[in-house]
Amino acid sequence: MSRFSRFSGLLLAASLPFGALAELPEERIEPSINAELAEHTKHFTQKLYKVADNVYSAVGWQLGNVAMIEAPEGLIIVDTGESVSESRKIMAEFRKISDKPVKAIVYTHFHPDHINGVKAFVSEEQVKRGEVQIYAQETLLDNVVTQGALVGPILGLRSAYTFGAALPASDNEGMNGGIGPLAKVEGSTFIAPTITFKDKLDTTIAGLPVQFLHAPSEAPDEIVLFLPNNRVLISAEVDQGPTLPNIHTLRGTKFRDPVLWVNSLDKLRAFQADHMVPLHGQPVSGKDKVEEVLRMTRDGIAYIHDQTVRWMNKGLTPDELVEKVKLPPHLAGYTPYLREYYGTVKHSVRQIYQGYLGWFQGDPVALDPIAPQEKAKRLIEMMGGHDKVLLAAGEAYLKGDYQWAAELASYAISLDNDDKLAREIKARSFRKLGYASMNINWRNWYLMSAMELEGKLDGDAALQMTKGIREAFLSPDMLKNLPVKVFLQNWVTRIDPEKSADVNLTLGFVFPDIGEEWALEVRRGVVQLHQGIPAGTSLKLTFDKIYLDTVISGENSLLKGALLGDVKVDGSLLDIKTFLGCFDFEDAPIALTVR
């Protein structure tokens, strides 16, 4: 008898006692990759592409490409990859072409895979001496220092699931990251920009004319470069490369406005470039081909947006919209640029609805719904009890109805997080769905969630994994650029209302080395940040920003500094201890799937 047959017998024989269902028969689900997704990996074969006379694009070393422009007086490096070690390999390839000094670095936007490898190309000392300039849009530094500060704990964990941070080698063999090879998050570095601009900048760098344009799209600070001498457009992620663009990212981000993105693509079309160098995927050459890729990408995003809004205006809700809005064949089949390797129509549609109308869909039943656990309890009772629900889940699994099997198992898990059989049914369902998925984001989420259900991502393991990912978003080099305001603003969302229920205290912070003064006022569960210290404030801490950097990095604490004399204290130490005790800075394990 096959394993499947034994499983079927256990699940469907109503006469068997439920104890027989305590464990599922052993089943080995072999790792696999969707055939088209596996073929897509070839797009990222390691290669240094030469574009026109003086532009080179390093594809296949990292998730993001690194481009080099050879100017008369030196080199311009556009984006620096996510890993110093891999970027050093790229620099070694560049050095086979030119021994000219690096004169400029360009950050096209703030995402880690475009900025974290900077020290493979230049040192802080070179930048401080003015030998190298770093160009970026004016909001990039703010975006860098805040992306991991406000929602760092949850963003770190969700990013780990998005990138499949804990997946074993067997699940990653032959895989790609949709927009590049698998990401390599190691050795994160950062050097702050030295030259920034708002909308556009026409300049000369190392003897070469360069036109910069702000083109908000995949990131709010996205910029592109146009080289008029040979009509090369470095398109950053306005053209996201060989995939349907990720109009929404599952790890979580602010609203990516499709209308702005379409407008930016039209601005790129206006350059009428002969060559285009995206910072994911291979370069595109020929004026007609560049126009085709940009136009089709633009039309794909526009279609998803416009049809979502069209049907929203007819009253459809997100669950209905995802069944209604589908790309027509000429767009859906435009390979590889509109294939769903990275973005998908379905999760884009949901973001567009949320961006315009928010979470409320119009049925007041959603205004004050029954709590999830209570809802699960009532539904399970209505369906005949726990055993029948899991029998139905198992039957759905055997029929290949994996989504329904996972949904049914979720009710049982909601009531009992330790329900071994429910977790196994859901985990197996997710593995089946994940291995079949052509989209790398969906695949990684399915497989990471399966690991969580299987108990392979316990609390400590998840915290350690998240810590590593968070460093990519907020590395020690980035921490040095964290303004005092951003650090203190983070306290506002860390207030514990129970511990501060009866507390009314204001603590001033004085930073003599940078000439700044701030204060945090606790008012019974609410915190207000003040620029400057309100009159009458008796509690003050005075210390240099340099010491604050060690507090941010975890090397020191304010109480430790006060006791050792590194922090000057005005007022009662007991009151300061009471004040500091009002906040919750503990990073607790987070369950995304088992809840």
Summarised one tens digit per residue, pLDDT across range 525-536 is 999 999 999 999
Confidence of residue 24 (pLDDT cuts 50, 70, 90): low
The rounded distance, in Å, linking the Cα atoms of 270 and 233 is 11
Instruction: Say yes or no to pLDDT of 14 above 60.
Output: no
In terms of C-beta density within 10 A (0-12 exposed, 13-18 middle, 19 or more buried), how is residue 15 classed?
A: exposed
State how far the alpha carbon of 97 is from the alpha carbons of 64, 92, 93, 100, in Å: 21, 9, 7, 9
- How far is the first Cα of the chain from the last one, in angstroms, to the nearest whole number? 36
The rounded distance, in Å, linking the Cα atoms of 517 and 216 is 34
Give pLDDT, residue 166. 92
Domains of the chain, by residue range, sit at 35-357, 367-466, 483-580
Residue found under tokens 């994996």? 402
* Residue 197: DSSP 8-state: E
The rounded distance, in Å, linking the Cα atoms of 332 and 338 is 6
Who contacts 364 (Cβ-Cβ below 8 Å, separation ≥6)? Answer: none
The rounded distance, in Å, linking the Cα atoms of 584 and 548 is 18
CA dihedral 194, 195, 199, 203 (to 10 degrees): -160
Give pLDDT, residue 16. 34
Q: Do domains 35-357 and 483-580 have the same CATH topology?
A: no
Run of H or E residues at 531: strand 526-531
> Per residue in 134-153, pLDDT tens?
999 999 998 887 776 777 78
For the entire predicted model, the pTM comes to 0.92
Confidence of residue 203 (pLDDT cuts 50, 70, 90): very high
> Per residue in 322-354, pLDDT tens?
999 999 999 999 999 999 999 999 999 999 999
Give pLDDT, residue 25. 65
Give pLDDT, residue 293. 98
Task: Tell me what the mean pLDDT of segment 465-487 comes to.
Answer: 78
Give pLDDT, residue 421. 95
Q: What are phi and psi of 512, to 5 degrees?
A: -60, -35
| 32-41, 174-183, 256-265, 461-470: the lowest-pLDDT one | 461-470
Give pLDDT, residue 39. 97
Give pLDDT, residue 22. 52
Q: What percent of the chain has pLDDT over 90?
A: 78
More confident residue, 470 or 220: 220
In terms of C-beta density within 10 A (0-12 exposed, 13-18 middle, 19 or more buried), how is residue 555 classed?
A: exposed
> DSSP per residue over 534-580, as a string?
-TT--EEEE--HHHHHHHHTTS--HHHHHHHTSSEEES-HHHHHHHH
> Per residue in 447-465, pLDDT tens?
999 999 999 987 777 777 7
> Per residue in 51-101, pLDDT tens?
999 999 999 999 999 999 999 999 999 999 999 999 999 999 999 999 999
The rounded distance, in Å, linking the Cα atoms of 485 and 383 is 54
Give pLDDT, residue 3. 34
Residue found under tokens 């995939």? 243
Q: Are 284 and 293 in contact (CB under 8 A)?
A: yes
The rounded distance, in Å, linking the Cα atoms of 43 and 504 is 60
Instruction: Say yes or no to pLDDT of 17 above 70.
Output: no
367-466: CATH number:
1.25.40.880
Give pLDDT, residue 84. 94
> Per residue in 372-401, pLDDT tens?
999 999 999 999 999 999 999 999 999 999
483-580, CATH topology level: Nonspecific Lipid-transfer Protein; Chain A (3.30.1050)
| 114-123, 191-200, 333-342, 552-561: the lowest-pLDDT one | 552-561
The rounded distance, in Å, linking the Cα atoms of 124 and 192 is 9
Instruction: Say yes or no to pLDDT of 2 above 70.
Output: no
Q: Are 282 and 40 in contact (CB under 8 A)?
A: no
Q: What are phi and psi of 329, to 5 degrees?
A: -55, -40
35-357, CATH topology level: Metallo-beta-lactamase; Chain A (3.60.15)
Confidence of residue 558 (pLDDT cuts 50, 70, 90): confident
